[in-house]
């Protein structure tokens, strides 16, 4: 499919202008495909680890590190893609903060300029309240799309609440539901599509199978979010997907993220800013609805 989207880099100096633009675009483009770049995994989760251990590792990794980039690509329910925004955050300090050396090297090799991000990026204490203010205006119509997106959602929950992650996976799902009314993980969806089941799929491999072209560089949050949006649109075009069956299920999280009442306003859950002192890869994801696979339409 043809993908036309401009990737806009967002820094502290243009943040407010971008937020006004984003606010207007959300009136027509209500699907937010997201990707994050972060400093890697301080604690790796063994295969077949118990669910409690897996969540504890997630919590430890996210609580102890800072987000570097957030990519958001906007599209509509028919798959028409609008703009991509690549938010750069100033909170991560390569010289002081905990990180995994191999992950940082990969990001450097991919072209991330950590000095510029640190100098010109957006502080999360500036980003979170303004971003939540915009989201609250459109909350009932928003859909979020990820690929293997548990860490993407977890980092946003940490930023939105300005706090450490909740102590249990069930509590995490409850807090995430305050911000993510509808969320889809296309790694989960792919497990129920004919021809994709059982494959060890990363985002780039899935895109190649579906003949979706990448725009921009890999391991940049903007490019990865744009590829996520394009892959999701192509999957919806090829397969008769029942979206409600997948809503709220993230790969690696046992508990479902279920939407909360509309009267709960997201920005009311902001806490005073604190700075807290792989990925979960289960060998098999068990969907509780035991769906049969989807075939191309």
| Residue 48 banded pLDDT, cuts 50, 70, 90 | confident
Cβ burial, residue 68 (10 Å; 0-12/13-18/19+): buried
Mean pLDDT computed over 106-131: 96
Measure the CA–CA gap between 264 and 267, rounded to whole angstroms.
9
pLDDT higher than 60, residue 282: no
Q: Is the pLDDT of residue 280 over 50?
A: no
Cβ contacts of 260-264, under 8 Å, gap ≥ 24? 260/177, 260/178, 260/181, 262/139, 262/140, 264/178
- Look at residue 260 in the predicted model and tell me its pLDDT: 64
Rounded distance between C-alpha atoms, residue 113 and residue 217, angstroms:
13
Q: Is the pLDDT of residue 247 over 70?
A: yes
Task: Note the pLDDT tens digit of each residue in 87-107.
Answer: 999 999 999 999 999 999 999
Q: What is the mean pLDDT of residues 211-230?
A: 94
d(CA 153, CA 161): 12
pLDDT of residue 130: 97
CA-based angle 235:241:246, to the nearest 5? 100
What pLDDT is attached to residue 290? Answer: 37
> Mean pLDDT lowest for which of 123-127, 230-234, 253-257, 270-274?
270-274
Residue 27 has pLDDT above 70, yes or no: yes
Report pLDDT for 296. 62
Read off the pTM: 0.88
Model confidence at 33: pLDDT above 90 = yes
Confidence (pLDDT) at 201: 86
**Domains, the chain, ordered by start:** 7-269 (3.30.420.10)
Residue range 240-269: mean pLDDT, rounded = 78
- Percentage with pLDDT > 70 across the chain: 85
pLDDT score for 194: 87
Q: Extract the tokens encoding 152.
A: 């993407």
- Comparing C-alpha atoms, which of 252, 222, 170 is closest to residue 33? 222
Give the per-residue pLDDT at 31. 98
* For range 261-289, the mean pLDDT: 42
pLDDT of residue 240: 84
Q: What is the pLDDT of residues 138-175, one digit of tens each?
A: 988 999 999 999 999 999 999 999 999 999 999 999 99
């Amino acid at each position: 499919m043809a993908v036309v989207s401009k990737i806009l880099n967002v820094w502290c100096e243009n943040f407010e202008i971008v937020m006004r633009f984003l606010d207007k675009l959300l009136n027509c483009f209500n699907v937010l495909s997201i990707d994050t770049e972060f400093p890697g995994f301080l604690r790796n989760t063994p295969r077949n680890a118990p669910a409690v251990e897996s969540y504890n590792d997630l919590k430890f990794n996210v609580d102890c590190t800072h987000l570097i980039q957030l990519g958001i690509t906007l599209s509509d329910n028919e798959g028409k893609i609008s703009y991509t925004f690549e938010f750069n955050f100033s909170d991560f300090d390569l010289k002081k903060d905990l990180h995994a050396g191999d992950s940082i090297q990969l990001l450097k090799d991919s072209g991330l300029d950590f000095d510029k991000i640190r100098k010109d990026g957006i502080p999360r204490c500036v980003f979170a309240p303004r971003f939540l203010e915009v989201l609250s205006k459109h909350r009932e119509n928003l859909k979020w799309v990820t690929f293997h997106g548990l860490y993407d959602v977890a980092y946003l929950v940490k930023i939105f609440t300005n706090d450490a992650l909740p102590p249990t996976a069930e509590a995490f799902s409850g807090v995430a539901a305050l911000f993510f009314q509808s969320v889809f993980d296309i790694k989960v969806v792919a497990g129920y599509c004919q021809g994709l089941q059982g494959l060890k799929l990363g985002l780039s491999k899935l895109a190649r199978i579906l003949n979706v072209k990448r725009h921009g560089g890999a391991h940049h949050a903007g490019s990865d979010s744009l590829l996520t949006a394009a892959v999701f649109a192509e999957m919806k075009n090829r397969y008769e997907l029942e979206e409600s069956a997948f809503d709220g299920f993230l790969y690696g999280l046992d508990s479902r993220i279920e939407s909360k009442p509309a009267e709960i306003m997201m920005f009311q859950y902001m806490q005073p800013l604190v700075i807290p002192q792989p990925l979960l890869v289960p060998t098999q994801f068990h969907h509780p609805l035991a769906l049969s696979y989807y075939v191309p339409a």
